[in-house]
Structure 1
Amino acid sequence: MDQYDPPQPSRDIYEITPSPPANANVGPTGNLLRPGMITGDSPDGIKVERVISGARSVASTSGTDASNASRLRGRFRRDISWGTKLHWFLPSAMVGLFILGLLGSLLHHWFYVSLDGRGADDQLIMVRFGTAFAFFTKAALVGSIVLAYRQRVWYTLRTKAITVKGIDNLFALTEDPTCFYSKDVAVKAKVATAMALATWIIPLAAVLSPGALTAQPIYVESEADCAIPTLNTSAQNDAIQQKPKHGVGGYDLIFFNTSEGPGKQQYFDDIGYTFTQASDLSFHLKNPQQVASPCKGYNCTWNVGFDAPWYECHERSVEDARNALENMSWIEPGNNTWAPRGIITLSAIFDGPEYDPIQPPYQNGSDNLQGYFVDEPTIRVGYLVDTGVPVVEGSIDSNNGRWKTVFEPHWLSCDLRKAFWNVTFNFTDEVQSATVRTSNKRRVFEPPKMGPGHSNYRENALYYAFGKLVRLRLINGHGFKDGYRDTMRYSAYHPLVNGTTRLAINDVKGGVEKLVTDLGLTLLSLPYLEIALDTNAPCEKWRYENRFHYSRQGLWIGYTLSVIATLMSMFIGMHSIYMNGVTSDTLFSKILVTTRNVTLDTLVRDHEGVCLGGDPFPEKLEKTKLMFGIIDQRDGVTHTAFGTPDETTGMLGSEEYRRLVNPGRGPEATSA
């Protein structure tokens, strides 16, 4: 025994007896094995002799080897001398990489869960983190498959005869996708090919999985207390004109004059400049001036309630309207009369005396009425409605062919009241809309008269000024309809006249109420009024925010398939290690020590440069089929190496922890 041989455990061995030298003229693809006699105990305890022939057949001199099971057991026992102890590193690395890949996918999932529903801030950084998790997972799973693939390659080479070109492709399949274009790869190494294909497909998860996190506009609701503007008209009773509530910046809606009588009482003088400007603004815009939004950056809705002026309108009967239009002074003398005899289609007037801003001098007596309110004028709106009924030719309604349909008279009566306004404000995209509902309508003015000493005098003056601004707007113009020209430019300026038909709008009552609400809501936009008030009220806020949205399906479809493919590959790799009896790799050193074969020397001898690794490789050699297994050389040395199918004996077995015994030794290497 060689002095460098390590101590060997006691085991069953076979005695390999070399025969005389074989014929030196054996060709590269011929039978290079010389027959050898192997003796040993059979599995059933009978002494047998076996001859390893060039066709890799095992002939037994005993009839007990007739069964296939016995021959298989004999082969396993023979393979014991060609194993090596399994090393822990590669299986551990295979499993460890799989665990890391699985952990990477879970971390990626948990990271996206933590972002789901949050504001989409630092999107680029978050996407980069997701991409890093994806590539880490991909690298770990692919690494596990590659380690398993290398074990499967050696299993395939031990069990299948594959051309040299096919072997090249197998060793490069995970690095070069063009190697899939090989018949040997597709036919003789199906499992290994599928594993290699997985290493190319799994990286798609690294590309697709970060897309599971997107930024989407999400409808977000919240509730809060908002500082909102409101009105308190009763505060006008306590206002001091010389000392405005907001200092020099305070605004007066009404002006007062000072009486010459005892106590120097102040009485209503006229409508203030601020009030006039607010009415001009709302009437011109045909909408209220917007208030400042209490929820900047959000859309919001809130309700607010307050007392404010209101005109309560009632529609009279058609008969009353006909009498009123014929007998009341709707139009100044000399102007055209109502259609069909004239061209007037709408007119507004008011009944009752107006408060005279030019007050008489103070009189010390019971008949002194300086600054007194003695009435509240009522608005009357007369108008015609087209019935669509054709007129009778020659009748008054036809007016000699000018009119084609019958007009029906209407009469609207409106009185000023103090009402409770319930307003629902809505701000959407910084645009205000409001819905007003009124209730608890009552009078502020107490007939027959109300003087400066009354506790509600100043508030009544405010209501009167409000009503007067509305009345002045309604009596400014008429509705006209000329049958021949059908155009009167003044019609377009009246808020109750349809600019196209020159007749009254469809909802005259609603038109009056809109004037009132537009002016009342405009007052809310003026923060420094004596009647202005800020209060807190619940408001519903909402908006569309860019928030992260995590699609679990988008992440886990790719990861699940990748994990399953890796798990299956790992099991296949473990099975290959078990069947091979050795852990190996496809590094150059592994190739170097598995190609020690005289047959290969003979194969490359006739092709210049091949033994030096020259390229391109000869086609004849590419098509030569080789197999990895046990080879008995003609010089008596027994090897494990790549060889032709005829000279190679397979060496798969299920024995555990086997190691190579005296590799490359002659027949004297028969003892452990």
Structure 2
Amino acid sequence: MAARKHGTIHWRAPALMVGSLIVGICLALGHHFFYKSLQGTEVSSRDVKIAGWKASSQQLNTAGGTAFAFVVKASLILATSVAYFQLLFRTLTTGTFTLRQLDNAYAGLEDLIAFGYLPFTWRFSMLALLALTAWLLPVAAIIAPAALSVTYAELRPSLSRPLTVPQPAFESLAFGTLYLQEEAGSVFKAFSVPSEEVSRVAQVAAAAGTVLPIAPPSINASWLVSMDAPRLACGDLEPDLVKNLRNNILEVFNTSMLNNSANTDNANKMFTYLAWANDSTIEPRPFVRDGDTWKLQTEAFSVSKDILIAIFPRAATSGTITNDTTPFGRDNTTLLDWFFADSTKLHCTLWPSTYTLNFTYDGLDQTQRIEIVAIDEPLTDILKDEWPDPSELLSYLRLPDDDRTVHQSNRTANRRFLRSASYQSIMTAFMPLVTGASGFAEVGVATLPYGGENQAPGTYPTFTTQVFSTSLLHTRELAALLPPQDKALRFADNSFNMDRDGVVSLLPSSSASSTLKPFRTAIEELFFNVTLSMASSEQLLYNQSSPFAPPAVDVTFDRFGNIYVYAEDKLWLAYGIAIGVTIFNVVIGLVVMAHTGASFTANLSTIVRIAKNASVESTAGMNEGALPGKDPLPKDFANAKLSLRSTDHVELRQMDGAEYTRVAESTATESDVQLLHKRLSDSRTIQTE
């Protein structure tokens, strides 16, 4: 028989080692994509029947993930075990070892006690490292399945269907009483007095500072809608109007001073807050003469689309004013100019606009969130005096209910007319909330001593405002007008710190001015909140039989339930470490093969062949009685030393055709064993090179 060549590496061991690693990586990817396909999907409650057994989809998915983790672990451990045995058999060729040491090394992957002894043999240190990784690789199979969990969250995709959503019925007569008046030249003037419901909603929304709850079509609903609505746009007061304002205030004070010469104690107090209304037909100044006294222009509500506002924070700390020629400060600026220097002066105008709004209702309490997506200005201002001819609308309003029709030819004009009247109703309801005056002595109240030449003492003109009862109180400008809280300390004895601290603890907490909104932004937002809050009242919604009722919009309903959540980081943390360690082990196995020039498997034939070419040095005989090789290792054999003979000086026996014969204890003798060994040795002999 031809002689075998030494130093060749058979393909089976390296292929098994590298192949197991590749299979493990592919299975880990499969596990990842399996969980990825479940991410965000609903956990089905339906049972699946398999061979007469019932199982839920969640149980099947959990079992699938566990199966993936098991085969990944098995593949990586197989690759590591092959590398381990390459290192083990390589180590056997490096010296002499006791049988106890060899038992520990051979069983290090399957016997925890044997593994524990490996580190105590210094030549087994690398074996101990590989065995340690093999023992820890199953941890990855525990962590990886936990990457998939179940949680209660929103289901995708959401349901959607067209529905009618709440919108203020601007193109209707729901917002108030409409008045039409024909003036000279056949020019029609129209104005609307707000209904009690409009005024009520405006007051509540202004006090709350938010949009009142609007009833959605259903829970967890959201929709996007485009709607026409009025908008309050504020800017700086024009310079000529600022001049008129200053002159008007000066005129009012000078008139009062003329009648105050007999009693100098009744000094005038500068206004801290002024807001008035007017339109193009009335001079834009706050005060007008009313006989012998002065009147603040707050009665032009029904024909006005403008609000003019002036806030003087310096007047809140030093409100006394005598006349315009009194020097103040080193710059010789007058006291009135000093008040104006640090003031806020705004001109707010009502404009028709088109809002694109996103409504969302979610959470346990169905929190209402409204987002302004876009605001578009119209090409024309429907609030100007260019009104359409209301003859068709008048005839429509006077017809019996069963005969009321809207001519298609006048449909656009009628819609614009009704929309404009509704906008004016909202503006008319909003103005009393912000117009009026406030002075130095009392928040929300202003008084003019001796308002006119014939004014009797004690009957001074008094002006009020409700603005401090609205959410506008929490703005930078109005917060500065409030009296300082430390005035309350006069109720305590300042000589005792405990009394002072007690009073301070009873004072209301104050917000830092840096966190407050500017008045300009706040009043624009407040008007929007008031306008949209009209949809919270069923009386101010569209009648679906109206020809002007808006069409249905797509409403999305969020669904909630149990869904799968996949944490990729958990899976790849476990698999990444396991694969990385296995790659390290495989590299060691390949390097050992290259140095050894051969590969090994853990087959029994490998053990027999190694034992055949090994020499055992023992002080005790190596013959066992019945069942040789049974556990445990006899103490007499434990310290026997085994070493491999060099293959350059021995005959290699081909073991493929060898037979194992069990010799009965009652008939076999030592000479019989030697005779049997000689027969097997002589049957097949391969001459070494």
Change (3 A) 1:182 1:127: same
Within 2, Cα distance between the matches of 1:112 and 1:459? 59
Q: State the Cα distance separating 1:320 from its structure 2 match.
A: 0.7
Within 1, Cα distance between the matches of 2:466 and 2:432? 16
Aligned residues: 517
TM-score relative to the length of structure 1: 0.55
What secondary structure does 2:604 align onto? coil
Change (3 A) 1:616 1:559: closer
Q: State the Cα distance separating 1:151 from its structure 2 match.
A: 7.6
Match of 1:20 in 2: none
Within 1, Cα distance between the matches of 2:302 and 2:317? 44
Match of 1:254 in 2: 176
Contact kept, 8 Å, 1:581 with 1:652, in 2: the verdict is no
The amino acid of 1:468's aligned partner reads T
Residue 288 (structure 1) aligned with residue 301 (structure 2)? no
Q: State the Cα distance separating 1:119 from its structure 2 match.
A: 0.9
Correspondence list, 1:158-177, <5 A: 160-177=95-112
Q: State the Cα distance separating 1:428 from its structure 2 match.
A: 9.2
Q: State the Cα distance separating 1:286 from its structure 2 match.
A: 1.6
Within 2, Cα distance between the matches of 1:480 and 1:509? 21
Rg larger in structure: 1
List per-residue Cα deviations over 1:355-414 (Å, max 9, x = no partner).
Answer: xxxxxxxxxxxxxxxxxx99714655453424699989996488999x999312777565
Match of 2:36 in 1: 116
Contact kept, 8 Å, 1:309 with 1:466, in 2: the verdict is no
Match of 2:171 in 1: 235
Among 434, 440, 450, which residue is 1:474 paired with?
A: 434
Change (3 A) 1:556 1:449: closer
Change (3 A) 1:568 1:310: closer
Match of 2:524 in 1: 513
The amino acid of 2:268's aligned partner reads R
Q: State the Cα distance separating 1:290 from its structure 2 match.
A: 4.9
Q: State the Cα distance separating 1:200 from its structure 2 match.
A: 2.3
Within 1, Cα distance between the matches of 2:316 and 2:229? 44
Change (3 A) 1:526 1:112: farther
Within 1, Cα distance between the matches of 2:520 and 2:280? 23
Q: Which moved more, 1:138-147 or 1:177-186?
A: 177-186
What secondary structure does 1:453 align onto? helix
Change (3 A) 1:438 1:586: same
Change (3 A) 1:415 1:376: farther
Correspondence list, 1:642-657, <5 A: none
List per-residue Cα deviations over 1:592-611 (Å, max 9, x = no partner).
Answer: x9899998683489x9xxx9
Contact kept, 8 Å, 2:472 with 2:522, in 1: the verdict is yes
Change (3 A) 1:277 1:594: farther
5+ long unaligned stretches in structure 1? 1-10, 13-72, 80-87, 240-251, 259-266, 355-372, 631-647
Correspondence list, 1:413-428, <5 A: 419-425=352-358
Identity across the alignment (%): 14
Among 206, 209, 212, which residue is 2:141 paired with?
A: 206
Within 1, Cα distance between the matches of 2:527 and 2:233? 7
Match of 1:529 in 2: 542
Q: State the Cα distance separating 1:137 from its structure 2 match.
A: 2.5
Change (3 A) 1:433 1:516: same
5+ long unaligned stretches in structure 2? 44-57, 181-189, 261-265, 282-299, 330-334, 396-412, 447-463, 484-515, 662-672, 685-689
Change (3 A) 1:517 1:294: same
Among 382, 385, 388, which residue is 1:442 paired with?
A: 382
Residue 665 (structure 1) aligned with residue 665 (structure 2)? no
Contact kept, 8 Å, 2:306 with 2:348, in 1: the verdict is yes
Match of 1:463 in 2: 423
Contact kept, 8 Å, 2:17 with 2:79, in 1: the verdict is yes
What secondary structure does 1:130 align onto? helix
Bigger helix share:
2
The amino acid of 2:171's aligned partner reads A
Q: State the Cα distance separating 1:341 from its structure 2 match.
A: 1.9
The amino acid of 2:531's aligned partner reads G
Correspondence list, 1:13-412, <5 A: 99=19, 102-116=22-36, 118-119=39-40, 129-143=64-78, 145-146=80-81, 157=92, 160-179=95-114, 186-188=121-123, 193=128, 195-210=130-145, 229=165, 235-236=171-172, 252-254=174-176, 271-291=194-214, 302=224, 304-308=226-230, 315-317=237-239, 318-326=242-250, 341-342=268-269, 344-351=271-278, 376-377=303-304, 379=306, 381=308, 383-386=310-313, 396=323, 406-408=338-340
List per-residue Cα deviations over 1:491-515 (Å, max 9, x = no partner).
Answer: 7326666553228999655555344
Contact kept, 8 Å, 1:105 with 1:137, in 2: the verdict is yes
Within 1, Cα distance between the matches of 2:248 and 2:376? 29
Within 1, Cα distance between the matches of 2:208 and 2:603? 87
Q: State the Cα distance separating 1:520 from its structure 2 match.
A: 1.8
List per-residue Cα deviations over 1:455-505 (Å, max 9, x = no partner).
Answer: 646545433322221223234x53232299999997732666655322899
Within 1, Cα distance between the matches of 2:321 and 2:423? 50
Residue 493 (structure 1) aligned with residue 415 (structure 2)? no
Within 2, Cα distance between the matches of 1:622 and 1:185? 16
List per-residue Cα deviations over 1:514-548 (Å, max 9, x = no partner).
Answer: 44322222234457334663554799x9x9x9852
Contact kept, 8 Å, 2:307 with 2:348, in 1: the verdict is yes
Match of 1:548 in 2: 566
Q: State the Cα distance separating 1:321 from its structure 2 match.
A: 0.7
Match of 1:565 in 2: 585
Within 2, Cα distance between the matches of 1:257 and 1:395? 45
Change (3 A) 1:580 1:459: closer
What secondary structure does 2:527 align onto? helix
Match of 1:625 in 2: 641
Contact kept, 8 Å, 2:99 with 2:640, in 1: the verdict is yes
The amino acid of 2:369's aligned partner reads Q
Change (3 A) 1:571 1:499: closer
Change (3 A) 1:410 1:474: same
Contact kept, 8 Å, 1:306 with 1:420, in 2: the verdict is yes
Q: State the Cα distance separating 1:291 from its structure 2 match.
A: 4.6
The amino acid of 1:469's aligned partner reads A
The amino acid of 1:286's aligned partner reads G
The amino acid of 1:480's aligned partner reads G
List per-residue Cα deviations over 1:235-258 (Å, max 9, x = no partner).
Answer: 32xx7xxxxxxxxxxxx3335799
Within 2, Cα distance between the matches of 1:312 and 1:580? 88
The amino acid of 1:289's aligned partner reads L
Match of 2:481 in 1: 502
The amino acid of 2:31's aligned partner reads F
Within 1, Cα distance between the matches of 2:307 and 2:127? 97
What secondary structure does 2:102 align onto? helix
Contact kept, 8 Å, 1:230 with 1:304, in 2: the verdict is no
The amino acid of 1:323's aligned partner reads N
What secondary structure does 1:235 align onto? coil
The amino acid of 1:119's aligned partner reads G
Q: State the Cα distance separating 1:201 from its structure 2 match.
A: 3.9
* C-alpha RMSD of the superposition: 6.6
Q: State the Cα distance separating 1:196 from its structure 2 match.
A: 3.5
Among 377, 394, 398, which residue is 1:453 paired with?
A: 394
TM-score relative to the length of structure 2: 0.54
Contact kept, 8 Å, 1:384 with 1:503, in 2: the verdict is no
Contact kept, 8 Å, 2:148 with 2:565, in 1: the verdict is no
